[in-house]
Amino acid sequence: MSSMEKCVFCRIGANELPVELVFENDEFVAFRDIKPVAPVHVILISRKHFSTWMDISDSGILGRALSGVQEVAKSLNLADDGFRTVINCKGNGGQTVYHFHIHILGGRFMSWPPG
Ligand code: 5GP
Ligand code: ZN
Protein backbone atom coordinates (compact mmCIF):
# COMPACT_ATOMS: atom_id res chain seq x y z
CA MET A 1 0.00 0.00 0.00
CA SER A 2 1.43 3.39 -0.92
CA SER A 3 1.71 6.06 1.73
CA MET A 4 -0.97 8.02 -0.14
CA GLU A 5 -3.67 5.40 0.45
CA LYS A 6 -5.24 4.76 3.81
CA CYS A 7 -6.02 1.21 4.87
CA VAL A 8 -9.62 0.34 5.69
CA PHE A 9 -9.09 0.52 9.47
CA CYS A 10 -7.26 3.86 9.14
CA ARG A 11 -10.38 5.13 7.38
CA ILE A 12 -12.61 3.78 10.15
CA GLY A 13 -10.25 5.31 12.73
CA ALA A 14 -10.58 8.67 10.96
CA ASN A 15 -14.41 8.35 11.06
CA GLU A 16 -14.45 8.21 7.25
CA LEU A 17 -16.35 4.90 6.90
CA PRO A 18 -19.69 4.03 8.47
CA VAL A 19 -19.46 1.48 11.28
CA GLU A 20 -21.65 0.37 14.16
CA LEU A 21 -19.68 2.14 16.85
CA VAL A 22 -19.35 0.55 20.29
CA PHE A 23 -16.67 2.66 21.96
CA GLU A 24 -14.27 5.45 21.03
CA ASN A 25 -11.75 7.76 22.57
CA ASP A 26 -8.83 9.83 21.25
CA GLU A 27 -6.72 6.77 20.60
CA PHE A 28 -9.04 3.82 19.86
CA VAL A 29 -12.29 2.94 18.11
CA ALA A 30 -14.36 -0.22 18.69
CA PHE A 31 -17.07 -1.29 16.24
CA ARG A 32 -19.09 -4.37 15.21
CA ASP A 33 -17.33 -6.76 12.84
CA ILE A 34 -18.87 -6.76 9.37
CA LYS A 35 -18.82 -10.60 9.33
CA PRO A 36 -19.54 -11.59 12.94
CA VAL A 37 -18.58 -15.11 14.03
CA ALA A 38 -20.31 -14.81 17.42
CA PRO A 39 -23.43 -13.02 18.73
CA VAL A 40 -21.08 -10.27 19.91
CA HIS A 41 -18.07 -9.63 17.66
CA VAL A 42 -16.37 -6.31 18.13
CA ILE A 43 -13.09 -5.05 16.65
CA LEU A 44 -11.03 -2.56 18.64
CA ILE A 45 -8.45 -0.61 16.61
CA SER A 46 -5.92 2.08 17.32
CA ARG A 47 -6.60 5.21 15.30
CA LYS A 48 -2.87 5.23 14.51
CA HIS A 49 -1.68 2.77 11.89
CA PHE A 50 0.49 -0.16 12.99
CA SER A 51 0.55 -3.10 10.56
CA THR A 52 0.64 -5.69 13.34
CA TRP A 53 0.85 -5.54 17.11
CA MET A 54 4.50 -6.62 16.83
CA ASP A 55 5.11 -3.17 15.28
CA ILE A 56 4.03 -1.42 18.49
CA SER A 57 7.00 -0.62 20.70
CA ASP A 58 5.05 1.55 23.16
CA SER A 59 3.72 -0.74 25.88
CA GLY A 60 1.44 2.10 26.98
CA ILE A 61 -0.55 1.79 23.76
CA LEU A 62 -0.88 -1.98 24.24
CA GLY A 63 -1.99 -1.52 27.84
CA ARG A 64 -4.53 1.16 26.98
CA ALA A 65 -5.88 -1.03 24.16
CA LEU A 66 -6.54 -3.79 26.71
CA SER A 67 -8.23 -1.25 28.98
CA GLY A 68 -10.41 -0.38 25.98
CA VAL A 69 -11.32 -4.06 25.71
CA GLN A 70 -12.45 -3.96 29.35
CA GLU A 71 -14.64 -0.93 28.59
CA VAL A 72 -16.24 -2.75 25.65
CA ALA A 73 -16.77 -5.91 27.71
CA LYS A 74 -18.46 -3.94 30.48
CA SER A 75 -20.64 -1.85 28.18
CA LEU A 76 -21.85 -4.91 26.23
CA ASN A 77 -22.45 -6.96 29.41
CA LEU A 78 -19.81 -9.56 28.57
CA ALA A 79 -17.98 -9.31 31.86
CA ASP A 80 -20.11 -11.77 33.87
CA ASP A 81 -20.43 -14.61 31.35
CA GLY A 82 -16.95 -14.10 29.91
CA PHE A 83 -15.66 -13.53 26.44
CA ARG A 84 -12.70 -14.23 24.14
CA THR A 85 -10.03 -11.69 23.17
CA VAL A 86 -7.97 -12.45 20.06
CA ILE A 87 -5.10 -10.69 18.29
CA ASN A 88 -4.33 -12.42 15.00
CA CYS A 89 -0.73 -11.76 13.93
CA LYS A 90 0.51 -12.21 10.35
CA GLY A 91 0.15 -15.34 8.24
CA ASN A 92 0.05 -18.17 10.75
CA GLY A 93 -2.09 -16.05 13.06
CA GLY A 94 -4.70 -15.64 10.34
CA GLN A 95 -4.45 -11.85 10.15
CA THR A 96 -6.26 -10.45 7.11
CA VAL A 97 -6.35 -6.71 7.83
CA TYR A 98 -2.86 -5.35 8.40
CA HIS A 99 -3.78 -2.64 10.88
CA PHE A 100 -3.50 -3.51 14.58
CA HIS A 101 -6.79 -4.70 16.00
CA ILE A 102 -8.21 -6.82 18.80
CA HIS A 103 -11.23 -9.09 18.39
CA ILE A 104 -13.73 -9.22 21.26
CA LEU A 105 -16.01 -12.24 20.95
CA GLY A 106 -18.89 -13.14 23.22
CA GLY A 107 -22.48 -14.23 23.61
CA ARG A 108 -21.70 -17.94 23.21
CA PHE A 109 -19.18 -20.49 24.48
CA MET A 110 -15.83 -20.27 22.67
CA SER A 111 -14.21 -23.64 22.06
CA TRP A 112 -10.51 -24.26 22.47
CA PRO A 113 -8.13 -24.83 20.73
CA PRO A 114 -8.75 -22.71 17.62
CA GLY A 115 -8.87 -24.58 14.31
P1 5GP B 1 -8.26 -10.38 11.06
O2 5GP B 1 -8.58 -11.63 10.29
O3 5GP B 1 -7.34 -9.48 10.29
O4 5GP B 1 -7.82 -10.61 12.45
O5 5GP B 1 -9.66 -9.66 11.23
C6 5GP B 1 -10.14 -8.63 10.44
C7 5GP B 1 -11.63 -8.51 10.75
O8 5GP B 1 -12.09 -7.27 10.27
C9 5GP B 1 -12.49 -9.60 10.10
O10 5GP B 1 -13.22 -10.28 11.12
C11 5GP B 1 -13.38 -8.82 9.14
O12 5GP B 1 -14.68 -9.35 9.06
C13 5GP B 1 -13.37 -7.41 9.74
N14 5GP B 1 -13.52 -6.35 8.76
C15 5GP B 1 -12.78 -6.20 7.62
N16 5GP B 1 -13.17 -5.09 6.96
C17 5GP B 1 -14.17 -4.53 7.69
C18 5GP B 1 -14.98 -3.36 7.50
O19 5GP B 1 -14.85 -2.61 6.53
N20 5GP B 1 -15.90 -3.09 8.45
C21 5GP B 1 -16.07 -3.89 9.55
N22 5GP B 1 -17.01 -3.53 10.43
N23 5GP B 1 -15.32 -5.00 9.76
C24 5GP B 1 -14.39 -5.31 8.84
ZN1 ZN C 1 -4.25 1.52 8.89
pTM of the model: 0.96
Alpha-carbon distance of 82 to 33, in angstroms, equals: 19
H/E element, 29: strand 28-32
Cβ neighbours for 74, distance < 8 A, ≥ 6 positions apart: none
> pLDDT tens digits, residue range 14-49?
999 999 999 999 999 999 999 999 999 999 999 999
Greatest Cα pair distance in the chain = 44
Alpha-carbon distance of 95 to 39, in angstroms, equals: 21
Amino acid identity of residue 1, one-letter, is M
Cα-to-centroid distance, 97 and ligand 1 (Å):
7
What confidence score (pLDDT) does residue 1 get? 62
31 lines ligand 1 (CB under 6 A): yes
9 lines ligand 1 (CB under 6 A): no
